[in-house]
């Protein structure tokens, strides 16, 4: 295997320009969700499928999700399989095809849909999020396929739709309709977040609830508060009580940064049009990120208690709704995927990996909730969603080599 791994390493290091061309091809097909004014990922996926087949990755299956809003009426989810010697578990590299809009165009130094290479970096929308991870998986696969080396374990490359707008047509669709794709022993890598050294393995995410609080009082003139009920005052009290949940759900977990659950009042909707009007109506939202040791139902119960207290104190009515709620189980830090990835990082890069938790929001949550041990990891500067998004080309090689190492051992 040593000799083969040397060949794999040489292949990976000498074929980075192919990955720059692949990145250029992918970026030239803007894959935006309908919510962002786009027509989905179909064309980008077609271009990728053609490229993979031309390069010898031919075992390709589709698990497309119906979506009436786009021209093709489906959102593509594609799996490429590179069979291994053993039939024990698959190594998944899951990357999303969709990208976010360019945002303010004047902030870009180059055309976001045309990849430009400069000083070891490539620039363009999607080059890092998530095409860098996609390219790492493809390069790892090619290092076997092109040299007719059969990996120890089967490699599965997943190319998903719809990650940026909630995963309904991507990972969540797959978990609902095709969960049998994944096995409980599979090693699932999601190269869609990381750090510049590639040393952190994300194993847990905080649960998320986004609350919307609509407070109803009674509007009146600014000089006559006794004739109405100031919804703003009641809502302000509630906002402080929501924020105070940080003192109630106060357990700490050093896996996460910050170590505590956070309950933050955020967006405020416009209320009255004049300074001399006492608002009878107030809407504010709160973004709550909760450590996995608490259930969302425990949080809901305490929130409702506080809402009741404010209703009673001020004589207002408060409607509570949830814009999003996602509970998230962690991947155990001693799961095989964590240990083997850490061993690969150590062997290939000579660094000690560390496990972390984050504030939340990747496709790993859905997988973990069904008992599939997924980790989020890659070597990147984290330029996602920014203007002048870039990827460092040699990071593609570093991560490809790490993935190839896992497939060899
Ligand atoms: Zn992403």
Tens of pLDDT, residues 274-329: 999 999 999 999 999 999 999 999 999 999 999 999 999 999 999 999 998 988 89
Q: How many Å apart are CA 403 and CA 9, to the nearest integer? A: 11
Say what the pLDDT of residue 1 is. 56
Cα–ligand 1 centroid distance for 298 (angstroms): 30
Residue with tokens 């929501």: 242
Cα–ligand 1 centroid distance for 2 (angstroms): 34
Helices (H) and strands (E) in the chain, counts: 11, 19
Q: How many Å apart are CA 311 and CA 387, to the nearest integer? A: 44
| Distant-in-sequence, close-in-space partners of 340: CB < 8 Å, separation ≥ 6 | 187, 406, 409
Cα–ligand 1 centroid distance for 80 (angstroms): 20
Inter-residue contact 184 to 371 (CB < 8 Å): yes
* pTM assigned to the model: 0.87
Residue with tokens 């190319």: 159
Cα–ligand 1 centroid distance for 191 (angstroms): 8
Q: How many Å apart are CA 310 and CA 163, to the nearest integer? A: 38
Backbone angles phi, psi at 292, to 5 degrees: -60, -10
Say what the pLDDT of residue 324 is. 87
Task: Give the DSSP letter of residue 379.
Answer: B
Residues with catalytic function: 98, 163
Q: At what angle do helices 336-349 and 393-408 cross, to 10 degrees?
A: 120
Relative to beta strand 90-96, strand 187-190 is parallel
Strands (E), 196-248: 200-205, 207-216, 220-221
Residue 122: CB atoms within 10 A of its CB come to 24
SS3 216: strand
Inter-residue contact 143 to 13 (CB < 8 Å): no
Nearest to 232 by CA among 244, 250, 245, 219: 219
Angle at the Cα of 205 from the Cα atoms of 203 and 208, rounded to 5 degrees:
165
Cα–ligand 1 centroid distance for 96 (angstroms): 7
Running along the chain, 409 residues long, what does each successive block of 10 average in pLDDT?
89 98 98 96 98 98 98 98 96 98 96 98 97 98 98 98 94 98 98 96 95 98 97 98 98 94 96 95 97 95 98 98 91 97 95 93 92 97 91 97 96
Q: What is the pLDDT of residues 86-109, one digit of tens each?
A: 989 999 999 999 999 999 999 999
């Amino acid at each position: 295997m040593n000799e083969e791994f040397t060949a794999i390493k040489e292949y990976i290091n000498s074929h980075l320009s192919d990955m720059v061309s692949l990145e250029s091809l992918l970026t030239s097909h803007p894959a935006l969700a309908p919510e962002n004014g786009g027509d989905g990922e179909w064309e980008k996926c077609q271009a990728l499928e053609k490229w993979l087949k031309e390069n010898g990755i031919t075992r390709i299956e589709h698990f497309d999700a119906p979506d009436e809003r786009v021209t093709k009426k489906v959102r593509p989810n594609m799996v490429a399989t590179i069979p291994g010697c053993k039939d024990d578990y698959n190594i998944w590299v899951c990357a999303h095809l969709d990208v976010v809009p360019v945002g303010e165009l004047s902030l870009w130094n180059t055309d976001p849909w045309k990849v430009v290479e400069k000083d070891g970096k490539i620039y363009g929308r999607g080059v890092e999020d998530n095409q860098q991870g996609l390219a790492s998986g493809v390069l790892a696969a090619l290092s076997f396929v092109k040299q007719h080396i059969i990996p120890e374990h089967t490699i599965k490359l997943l190319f998903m739709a719809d990650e940026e707008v909630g995963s309904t047509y991507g990972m969540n669709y797959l978990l609902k309709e095709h969960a049998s794709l994944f096995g409980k022993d599979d090693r699932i890598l999601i190269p869609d977040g990381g750090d510049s050294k590639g040393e952190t393995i994300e194993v847990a995410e905080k649960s998320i609830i986004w609350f919307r609080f609509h407070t109803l009082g009674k509007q009146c003139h600014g000089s006559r508060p006794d004739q109405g009920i100031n919804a703003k005052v009641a809502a302000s009290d509630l906002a402080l009580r929501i924020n105070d949940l940080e003192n109630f759900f106060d357990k700490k977990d050093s896996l996460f940064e910050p170590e505590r659950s956070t309950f933050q009042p955020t967006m405020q909707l416009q209320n009255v049009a004049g300074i001399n009007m006492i608002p009878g109506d107030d809407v504010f939202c709160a973004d709550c990120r909760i450590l996995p040791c608490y259930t969302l139902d425990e949080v809901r119960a305490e929130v409702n208690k506080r809402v009741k207290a404010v209703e009673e104190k001020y004589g207002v009515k408060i409607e509570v709704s949830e814009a999003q709620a996602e509970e998230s189980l962690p991947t155990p830090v001693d799961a095989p995927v964590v240990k083997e990835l850490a061993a690969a990082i150590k062997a290939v890069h000579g660094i000690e990996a560390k496990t972390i938790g984050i504030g939340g929001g990747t496709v790993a949550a859905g997988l973990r909730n069904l008992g599939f041990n997924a980790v989020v990891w890659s070597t990147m500067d984290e330029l996602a969603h920014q203007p002048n998004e870039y990827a460092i080309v040699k990071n593609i090689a570093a991560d490809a080599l790490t993935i190839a190492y896992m497939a060899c051992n």
